[in-house]
Structure 1
């Protein structure tokens, strides 16, 4: 009678249990990493909008230097879509994540706004004014709250 003492020791490969353990580990890693990745993507898009607002502010200052007023910097008057800067952020990008507008303007001050669109919708608008004050409507309530006068995540 033939018996093989080491028949299984020469076989190579993984058992089903070993593969299922690896699949479970990968699933756990993905479940943890993907939401963090999504937050980082949204944060980087918000950073692009912040940079666009600062550049938009520089364009408003140039307009003031040329006209001695912040008025009439919009495409159709004092507010709305800007005539002195791009209307979307990222500036020159193929995908639009924020709409840029002049929210308020007088002869001596202005407030600029970046309103989220597309995949950024529901992430709260950003504002920047002539005094370099920043605000982020982080809770998406429609108005700037008492603890939202910065661009930092609370």
Structure 2
């Protein structure tokens, strides 16, 4: 009996399994980095919105000489206010979906002498573990003219004006 030599084409099962294993290892390494990139990107988009609101509040101060809610001036800066809470100016372009992921708030403090702007991630968009461990909350303090990004516990401490705040870092 003679066997004819056939040219084999294609991959063996072992070669295919090795390739799949390599791709799986690369994906396991790349996926957490990609997710972290997405979180940082959203935080940076939130920071842009906060900066737009800083500009709006400074224009308001230029008109009213205070950060208190005054009906005579509020319409001139395209916002509304109730008590010591101002409505944040949000992006109008269709490309920005940051409002799907963050809630923004502006609060007048120190009897109208300053303000704080916060960007708080929406809890339905992030897991409780992510909110507890990642620095996704953003605070802007007009007194110190500084941004801080915080974990959920750090954000809660900063809202209570705690003497020591852990879980936040100044940007």
When the two structures are superposed, what TM-score results if normalisation uses the length of structure 1?
0.80
Q: Distance in 2 between matches of 1:25 and 1:46?
A: 32
| CA deviation after TM superposition for structure 1 residue 55, in Å | 1.3
Q: Which structure has the larger Rg over C-alpha atoms?
A: 1
Change (3 A) 1:22 1:76: same
- Shift in CA distance, 48/103, structure 1 to aligned 2, threshold 3 Å: same
2:81 counterpart (68, 75, 85)? 75
Alpha-carbon separation, structure 2, partners of 1:119 and 1:147: 21
Report 1:30-109 matches (<5 A).
30-72=27-69, 75-79=81-85, 81-82=86-87, 85-86=89-90, 91-92=91-92, 93-94=96-97, 96-105=100-109, 106-109=111-114
Tell me: CA distance 1:110–1:13, structure 2 relative to 1, closer, same or farther (3 Å). same
**How much has 1:129 moved relative to structure 2?**
1.8
Which structure 2 segments of 5+ residues have no match? 75-79, 159-164
TM-score after normalising by structure 2: 0.72
Count of aligned positions = 141
Moved over 2 A (4+): 91-95, 103-107, 118-121, 146-149
Aligned equivalents of 1:112 and 1:133: distance in 2? 11
Distance in 2 (alpha carbons) for counterparts of 1:146 and 1:100: 22
Deviation, 1:147, is: 6.4
The 8 Å contact of residues 98 and 120 in structure 1, kept in 2 or not, is answered as: no
Post-superposition offset of 1:58 = 0.7
Q: CA RMSD in A?
A: 2.2
> Which whole-Å CA distance do the structure 2 matches of 1:42 and 1:68 have between them?
37
